[in-house]
Structure 1
Amino acid sequence: MSKALVTTLTTLAGVVLTAPASAVEPPRPAAPVADEDWGAESSPLMHPARAVRYWTAGKQAKASTAELPEIRLQPVMGAGRRSVPTSKRITPGGDANGYARVRRPYTGAATSRITGRLFYVNASGRDDSCSASVVRSAAELLVVTAAHCVYGVPPGSATGQWHTNFAFVPAYDGRADTVRQREPYGRWGARRAWKPDGYTGLSGGDWNSPYDIALIEVGKKNDRTLQDAVGAFTPMLNEGGRHTITTTGYPGIAGRTPYDGRDQLWCLGHTEPAGGLMEIGGLQSSGLRATSSGGRMETHNCHLFKGHSGGPWLLKDTHDLVGVLSAGTEDGIEVGYSVATALNAEGYGAIVAHADPRGVYDALSVKAAGPRRAVKRGGTATVTATVTMRGLMSAAQVPVTFTLPEGTSLTSVHGAPCKRTSRQATCTIAAVRPGRPVRLTARVRVGRGAGRSPRVTAHVDSTRLDPSPSDNTSAVRLPTR
């Protein structure tokens, strides 16, 4: 297929479907969000049962697949048409795009049953689909996907509109003979969707942006939550960067097996901060550096296709969710690759604060401890800083700072890579996960001019998601003799 990937938001017919007033459930009371102006927008309330009824087997089979916002690379003179070069394919059994089939049944592994196909009626009235996955939450009802899978700008309109009739089918198998095999956990209709208010859906603006991420709340099924039925990925707060990831989804190109939306495919890749000269929606952009803008990461090992939009990017060894597929290059281009939106504080943090107000996420804390006995002046003491994450989310690249008073100095710090001067060290912990504290150890020399009880401080950085920032700083005094 040589057709360039362009978003469905530019090829839709301007029809909007809305639920009738009688079909909309009354709003439920919710705990207040700490910052109501924190950059998130929600869809109108929807009726889960309506979406469940709408998405019959026939409609699922005929649904199109949402196209990825396109990255148009600068032309390569004399380049042949290929996708991922052989030297860059690292997926066992992977094809020319890096894809390999997931082993059936999809209920057999956590990554494949937590991932599913998301069906919806797009903002122009066409049956469409993306990929999505269940993300850990207090509500146990949240699905994460790309923002362009929930919101779009129909042709002729200057403003965006919400898609409707969302139905999530975990472990969807489009080649199964029976409904029970095709939908082993059933279909879960949506109540509401959220996106960052930085995502407008306008071409040349925020396609392939740090805000192309969304959450959908589904209704319960027989008083059971979605998370209880299939499990969930633990979200990891991160700014993009370098990871080894796996990604699973449902690419859909009509008439091209296994790229027809009926198979679950996966790919293994190495990521790096997204950047470089490219065109987005026909406009040149210098890209957004994930290490500074906190938005995007890319892989050159996987050329992911439309329909895979919103599919999870997971750390290979721990299955922490670090991003969702956001953009890709056109089919067949020599340097085909893919871009994901990271679960950063500005995008994912903003929407989860509204979608799951009872959830505790970035609850980092630090506890400093020192020797019980007095330290002889001219000697050394060991100070530890134990960093803990409470709640539902992991965090990557966590900065921790040791600060020492006059008369003391650092001789060494262990437990994470650090940059240090004589009286301060800034260390970066690769990851902190719930229930798995990380300990840093500093050796402190107590000079002869130190006071009677010098104070050593440890501080861990967190975001506005942290409900108790008072425990981000801890100090210990070193009694001297």
Structure 2
Amino acid sequence: MSATHRTFPRRLATAGALLLSATTAAVLPPGTAVAAGPESVTTHSGATTEQERSRVDAYWTPERMKLAGALIPEITPVPEDDTTPDDPRPLPADTPDPGAVWTHAGAVNRSVGRLFFTFSDGYDGSCTATVVDSANRSTVITAAHCLRGVGAPTADDTWRHNLYFVPGYRNGTKPLGGFSIKSAATSSRWDAEPGGTTSEEVAIAGYDTGVLVANRSAEGRRVADVTGTQRIAFTKPAEAEFIHTFGYPKDRLNNPDAKYTGSRMIHCAGPARPGSKVPLLWGEPCDMSHGASGGPHFAQFDTRTGIGTVVGVTTTSEEVAGGPANTLYATRLGDSARRLYNWAQTRPA
């Protein structure tokens, strides 16, 4: 299909801060004030009827998924498939990796995927998300800024639309199918008035975790029954703990000289360090950028099985958090994330 015939919004849409960076956020000191008062869970309904689920599934065509994240999709070339060959050998344990296509086998190829959505202005974007152990076998974790911007929770344009999780996404395909989202939740710290607290301030204060409850597949299967799950923990970070990170960065769509197109899952690994400017965020050496947001940071990751424990989700880079160049920082999971997780896993799927 030629670029002139694509059915994308014909406007220069605002990209939004999918991976927070200095181009979209001021560098703010630790302890920046966010909304006062008790923290609670703010929820939003997604596709709740069969008609809505079918519409979302049909919306995310291979071409639309490949171009999610392009500033001007009408004139952006559709990325070529990434044909990096798979390697059946497991990656040796504790091998540093600054960023490369994950070519190895394991459960991570099924439980981690690309999360697609549409902004209120019609622009399509994407993040990364992970299926985690849960009572309802339908709980998916990502970054809060992938689900909404700061604002009144009743304002529909604050939230992302057409939320759609594609586990194991690869080159525009849905190898395990696609899952529309029944409901989403973030911390109430994102409920600030527009023009007051920014999403960047809330994120660096440690509240950039979001959770999703996935609808069942067309065959009636819960997402975890299709993908398997990863462990999840709400523990304090440890200096130099070896962490593995996964995501779907897509910076090349808007910069021909950049590295990633979102076609394949990317892997990074290395020792965790707190951000020098934002010590609540912890990061590892990694060159991933926009699109990696919400991706899992695994502790105790077994490179043979592809199973680990999600202890954080990607939030930002060193431009905001400080530290060495090409460092990818996570919101580590603590009490706020536990509250969201407990809410999500009790929802019916």
CA distance in 1: counterparts of 2:205 and 2:242, whole angstroms:
21
Deviation at 1:236, TM superposition (A): 0.7
Deviation at 1:342, TM superposition (A): 1.2
Q: 1:187 aligns with which of 162, 166, 178?
A: 178
Are 2:222 and 1:225 equivalent residues in the alignment? yes
Distance 1:91 1:249, change over 3 A: farther
Q: Is the 8 A contact 2:318 2:324 kept in 1?
A: no
Q: Secondary structure at the match of 2:189?
A: coil
Corresponding residue number in structure 2 for 1:392: none
CA distance in 1: counterparts of 2:190 and 2:238, whole angstroms:
22
Q: Alignment identity in percent?
A: 26
Are 2:345 and 1:352 equivalent residues in the alignment? no
| AA at the equivalent of 1:322 | V
Superposed, 1:249-268 pairs within 5 Å as 249-253=247-251, 254=253, 255=256, 258-268=259-269
Corresponding residue number in structure 2 for 1:327: 316
Q: Secondary structure at the match of 1:132?
A: strand
Superposed, 1:170-209 pairs within 5 Å as 170-174=167-171, 182-200=173-191, 202-209=198-205
Q: Secondary structure at the match of 2:206?
A: coil
Greater C-alpha radius of gyration: 1
Q: Secondary structure at the match of 2:125?
A: strand
| AA at the equivalent of 1:337 | T
CA distance in 2: counterparts of 1:50 and 1:153, whole angstroms:
27
Normalising to structure 2: TM-score of the pair?
Answer: 0.70
Corresponding residue number in structure 1 for 2:69: 64
Q: Is the 8 A contact 1:123 1:151 kept in 2?
A: no
Corresponding residue number in structure 1 for 2:209: 213
Q: Is the 8 A contact 2:137 2:224 kept in 1?
A: yes
Corresponding residue number in structure 2 for 1:297: 282
CA distance in 2: counterparts of 1:340 and 1:355, whole angstroms:
21
CA distance in 2: counterparts of 1:231 and 1:355, whole angstroms:
17
Deviation at 1:257, TM superposition (A): 6.8
Deviation at 1:258, TM superposition (A): 4.8
CA distance in 2: counterparts of 1:354 and 1:344, whole angstroms:
14
Distance 1:317 1:262, change over 3 A: closer
CA distance in 1: counterparts of 2:16 and 2:287, whole angstroms:
15
Q: Is the 8 A contact 1:118 1:167 kept in 2?
A: yes
CA distance in 1: counterparts of 2:257 and 2:181, whole angstroms:
30
Are 2:54 and 1:49 equivalent residues in the alignment? yes
Q: Secondary structure at the match of 2:261?
A: coil
CA distance in 2: counterparts of 1:198 and 1:7, whole angstroms:
17
Superposed, 1:71-110 pairs within 5 Å as 94=97, 98-103=98-103, 108-110=105-107
5+ residue gaps, structure 1, are 13-36, 67-89, 176-181, 278-286, 291-295, 360-481
CA distance in 2: counterparts of 1:239 and 1:56, whole angstroms:
40
Corresponding residue number in structure 2 for 1:114: 111
Q: Secondary structure at the match of 2:287?
A: coil
CA distance in 2: counterparts of 1:42 and 1:263, whole angstroms:
31
Q: Secondary structure at the match of 2:140?
A: strand
Aligned CA-pair RMSD: 3.2
Normalising to structure 1: TM-score of the pair?
Answer: 0.52
CA distance in 2: counterparts of 1:321 and 1:335, whole angstroms:
24
Which runs of at least 4 in structure 1 moved beyond 3 Å after TM superposition?
Answer: 8-12, 90-94, 255-258
Are 2:298 and 1:311 equivalent residues in the alignment? no
